[in-house]
Amino acid sequence: MHPRERKLVTHIPSALAALSELTSNLHWTWDRDTQHLFESLDPRAWQSCGGDPLQLIAGITAERWEALADNPAIVAATEHAAQRLRNALVEPRWFQTHANSALGLIAYFSPEFGISETLPQYAGGLGILAGDHLKAASDLGVPLAAVGLLYDEGYFRQQLNADGMQEERYPPLDPHSLPLHDTGVQIAVDFAGDLVRANVWRVQVGRISLYLLDTNVAGNSVEAGTITDRLYGGDNEHRLRQEILLGIGGVRALRALGLQPQVFHTNEGHAGFLSLERIRELVATGLTFTEAVASVRAGGVFTTHTPVPAGIDRFNVELMKKYFLNFAPECGCTFDELMAIGQDDTAGINDKAFNMAVMGLRLAGRANGVAQLHGKVSREMFAGLWPDLPVDEVPIGAITNGVHAPTWVGTHIGQLLARSVGPEWAEADAKAWQGVDALDDHDVLLARRQGRAALVAFVRSRVSDELLNPHALTIGFARRFATYKRATLLLAQPERLRVLLLQSERPVQFVFAGKAHPADQAGKDMIREIELFARKLEVGHRFVFVPDYDMAVARMMYHGCDVWLNNPRRPLEACGTSGMKAALNGALNCSILDGWWDECYDGSNGWAIESTENDPDLAARDHLEADSLFNLLEREIVPLFYKRDDNDVPHDWIAKMKANWKSLGPFVTATRMVREYTTELYEPAAAQTLVG
């Protein structure tokens, strides 16, 4: 039992002891009723602790517990919430009613997991996608165990200095203040002669167990102890050491826990060394290297998330030799044979570096991109690995990402969807989603106003009381600040932007948020440009950058924005799921036809910014695409939003919101995504592989 849970049980009667069940399972992160229960225990403390149940419970006094225990409504709500959790963990779900399946267990590896802002072990889209994957697998009853690393300092906390430049802080995290369970398991991995030990922690995400490895262990060398210091920190060797621990150590952790998955799913290349460890295991049983490779491939699934070679981890020969020279013989091969697995020797490339994506593709029998367009881009990018196949036959498919709807949809919108689509709207089919047509426009308008008002109040609490208008058209942009995402595209035509912002009759306001990687100076410069424009006296009340972007900030923006803006350089956005989360909340997308929007835009459910991707002149291209964006804002978006009847209801805008829900609701959810992974990748892989 967690120390906080012991304190909890000590101070309250048995009926309220059910709270310990809720705090020990991150299922509460997507259960709104449970969140409301926690808030009711002490609303002010709930607000001040950022919605962290462990912190909340640790701070409640014995006297307060006694008062709560005398409140029959609280006792009943607690017991009801605990029973709902128990039911969610044991009741048959989609997979249990699925046709007879050979699938026993999937191991899902990722370098980051965005489960909740109270467990800060994520940097951006890759981790949020991984977290949504686990939650949807739990909802569907899919048998899955996940593996990652526990970072002592997580990702960085962001603040802006007086010049508007991003600065990073790395406050240490106390594992005992996080929703972690010590498994008591410890594994060891040799790092160039340094035997590194890692403790294995468990996070319970609904019915899914997530195992996190931590090298901050007594007895480890100083260098070993820092392997799991920061997410995406350090130099290239530090990255290699983290990926060795994740892949090789992760497999050893599963074995030490007694788990024998049939399918190993690698979420991007970072965990790819898991395949080498599986080869080593099989060679130890008597298989040859070639036989072991074939067996590992049969049960391997590799998902690529990058559309550009520069985004892939690569390690030079000398660095690989330092860590794998003695490992290769254990795999039944020479070091050169091991290196060849990750070398891109296709026509004209002859890259001697070890490429993690190339290894991932060579050692996985099934591979996919994360949107249909991204699948096409990936087939073109990696076509050289299959020189005898036409590009369109390269064996890289596509499963478009989805989002875990209960995590991201606001209460007021969720109530509308439950009433019109059905109580299980997050798993509903296209026919059920047609039910939104029956919603009263006044009810939809009220729900949107409540979300916008909450966003405005949140921004004022974070930045300044003088900011934003709860009745103005609100446009959001929140994501990683990488140059290809072009966060500053609007600033290319500042006078047109000023006109939009300063209209008195039809006010428009923009809310920005996001982080740049600490080593990405160009991304930091973009944040600075946004922030300095936001500080201009005449427009600053309607143009805001919210610092320290995390899941909590993201949720508030999805709940409150009317339009979600995305303007990357096509085709560099692999998927871009933020727009999906906004869409489920009733926001309308205005986006380049890239990533998921390329396959989902139908002309009625949002807007498409014209793209000139074949123009080699990037400056000219940016100018033309900014023109298209401003034209949409000036001629279509703003007029439609402010077209009202005598009761101030924008019926045409709400009709577009309903078209958005009907076309996107059945598709953009993570339940659809995980079903596709299960039927198209996991089950075929399980049918062809031996356990392990």
Residue 414 in this model has a pLDDT that exceeds 80: yes
Task: Decide if 99 is inside a domain.
Answer: no
Selection from 248, 239, 249 nearest residue 217 by Cα: 249
Compute the average pLDDT of residues 492-517.
Answer: 96
Q: Among 77-86, 132-141, 161-170, 671-680, which stretch is predicted with the lowest mean pLDDT?
A: 77-86
Tell me how far apart the alpha carbons of residues 84 and 377 are, in angstroms, rounded to a whole number: 43
Percent of the chain with pLDDT over 70: 97
Task: Decide if 414 is inside a domain.
Answer: no
Phi-psi region of 606 (alpha: psi -120 to 50; beta: other; left: phi over 0): left
Let me know how long the chain is: 692
Tell me how far apart the alpha carbons of residues 594 and 584 are, in angstroms, rounded to a whole number: 19
- Indicate the helix (H) or strand (E) that contains 511: strand 508-513
CATH number at residue 452: 3.40.50.2000
Give backbone dihedrals phi and psi of 397, rounded to 5 degrees, phi first. Answer: -90, -155
Q: Among 182-191, 348-357, 648-657, 679-688, which stretch is predicted with the lowest mean pLDDT?
A: 348-357
CA–chain centroid gap for 258, Å, is: 28
DSSP tag of 506: S
Q: Among 225-229, 431-435, 616-620, which stretch is predicted with the lowest mean pLDDT?
A: 616-620
Tokens for 670?
């993570």
Residue 622 in this model has a pLDDT that exceeds 60: yes
327 and 195 in a common domain: yes
What's the pLDDT score for residue 613?
80
Task: Decide if 138 is inside a domain.
Answer: yes
322 and 464 in a common domain: no
Tell me how far apart the alpha carbons of residues 562 and 566 are, in angstroms, rounded to a whole number: 13
**3 state SS of 450:** helix
Residue 3 in this model has a pLDDT that exceeds 70: no
What's the pLDDT score for residue 351?
72
273 and 386 in a common domain: yes
Residue 9 in this model has a pLDDT that exceeds 70: no
What's the pLDDT score for residue 615?
82
83 and 157 in a common domain: no
118 and 79 in a common domain: no
What's the pLDDT score for residue 178?
93
What's the angle, vertex CA 8, arms to CA 7 and CA 10, rounded to 5?
65
Task: Decide if 440 is inside a domain.
Answer: no
358 and 471 in a common domain: no
DSSP tag of 45: H
Choose the final residue of a domain: 367, 401, 435.
401
What's the pLDDT score for residue 11?
42
What's the pLDDT score for residue 99?
76
Task: Decide if 684 is inside a domain.
Answer: no
352 and 249 in a common domain: yes
Task: Decide if 369 is inside a domain.
Answer: yes
Tell me how far apart the alpha carbons of residues 182 and 179 are, in angstroms, rounded to a whole number: 10
Compute the average pLDDT of residues 401-430.
Answer: 96
Compute the average pLDDT of residues 138-151.
Answer: 98
What's the angle, vertex CA 544, arms to CA 539 and CA 545, rounded to 5?
140
Strands 157-160 and 397-398: unpaired
Compute the average pLDDT of residues 585-604.
Answer: 98
Residue 535 in this model has a pLDDT that exceeds 70: yes
Location of structure tokens 């009340």? 541
Measured CA distances, 318 to 92, 238, 322, 344 (Å): 51, 14, 6, 17
Model confidence at 15, pLDDT cuts 50, 70, 90, reads: low
Compute the average pLDDT of residues 81-90.
Answer: 90
For residues 406 and 32, is the Cβ–Cβ distance under 8 A? Answer: yes
pLDDT tens per residue, range 182-237 = 999 999 999 999 999 999 999 999 999 999 999 999 999 999 999 999 999 999 99
610 and 496 in a common domain: yes
Q: Among 393-397, 488-492, 618-622, which stretch is predicted with the lowest mean pLDDT?
A: 618-622
Location of structure tokens 């009433």? 419
What's the pLDDT score for residue 689?
85
Count: domains in the chain: 3
What's the pLDDT score for residue 1?
46
Residue 310 in this model has a pLDDT that exceeds 90: no
Range of the domain at 37: 3-91
Task: Decide if 250 is inside a domain.
Answer: yes
Which residues on adjacent β-strands are paired with residue 595?
A: none
Choose the final residue of a domain: 64, 91, 118.
91
Compute the average pLDDT of residues 19-47.
Answer: 89
Model confidence at 309, pLDDT cuts 50, 70, 90, reads: confident
Compute the average pLDDT of residues 366-391.
Answer: 96
Location of structure tokens 């072991």? 292
Model confidence at 119, pLDDT cuts 50, 70, 90, reads: very high
CA–chain centroid gap for 73, Å, is: 36
Selection from 466, 465, 470, 443 nearest residue 454 by Cα: 470
What's the pLDDT score for residue 62?
83
Task: Decide if 680 is inside a domain.
Answer: no
Residue 434 in this model has a pLDDT that exceeds 70: yes
31 and 126 in a common domain: no
What's the pLDDT score for residue 14?
53
Residue 68 in this model has a pLDDT that exceeds 90: no
Q: Among 98-102, 276-280, 557-561, 601-605, which stretch is predicted with the lowest mean pLDDT?
A: 98-102
201 and 66 in a common domain: no
**Mean pLDDT across the chain:** 94
213 and 162 in a common domain: yes
DSSP 409-441: S-HHHHHHHHHHT-TTGGG--HHHHGGGGGS-H
Burial class (CB in 10 A: 0-12, 13-18, 19+), 3: exposed
Residue 348 in this model has a pLDDT that exceeds 90: no
Q: Who has greater pLDDT, 493 or 63?
A: 493
DSSP tag of 173: P
Which residues on adjacent β-strands are paired with residue 205?
A: 208
Compute the average pLDDT of residues 333-349.
Answer: 87
Compute the average pLDDT of residues 617-623.
Answer: 91
122 and 28 in a common domain: no
Tell me how far apart the alpha carbons of residues 439 and 549 are, in angstroms, rounded to a whole number: 33
